[in-house]
Structure 1
Amino acid sequence: MGETMTARALPDGSGIVVLQDHDTYGSGNVMVLDPTNEVLRRIINPYGTSRYSMAGDRFWFDAISVRAGEVALNIHVHRRLP
C-alpha cells in the first residue's frame, strides 16, 4: 500500500486512517481502510481549492490525531515568500 507514515484506529472501531508519504501520494496522502484492510476511500486535501491557496503552494496532510471520538488531519503548507 505504499509508504505508510502512521496509522490510527477510527474511534468507533470501523477501520483505520492511514497517513502515507506525501512525496508519493501528494495532497491525497490519507486513506481509510475497513477492518479487512480494504480501501474505503482516499481523502484529498481541501487546501488546494480553499481561498487561502496561492499559486506555487505545496500542501499535504502531515499528521493524524484521534481524540474524544474525532479524527483530525493536520495540513502542512509550504509557501515561498518573496
Structure 2
Amino acid sequence: MKYEVFPRRWGKGHIVTTPVKGNVESVEIKSGGKIQEKQVLVMIRPDQGKVKQILSGSGGTVEMLKVKAGDKVVHGDVLFFIKEDL
C-alpha cells in the first residue's frame, strides 16, 4: 500500500510527517537531495501489516532528515523538511 504525503507549509518549504505508526524500514532519500512529486521517500512497517511506501506530495530539496532506518515513529512524527524549488 502507498501513502501520498500532503506536507504542511513551513516558510518556503514543507514539513513531512508520518501518516502511520511503526518502524522505519528504509529512507530512500538523502539530506540535500532533490526529490520529485510522487517519489518514494520512506518505507515504514506498521506494528501490524505490510510495509507502507510514503510518497512525496511535491518536489524540492531535502533540507533535513529527522529519521533513519530502525527508528520507531507514530502518526504525526516529523520525517524531514523539504524546500520547494522555485
Same fold (TM over 0.5): no
User: Larger Rg: 1 or 2?
Assistant: 1
Q: What TM-score comes out, normalization by structure 2 length?
A: 0.36
Higher relative contact order (CA 8 A, sep 6+): 2
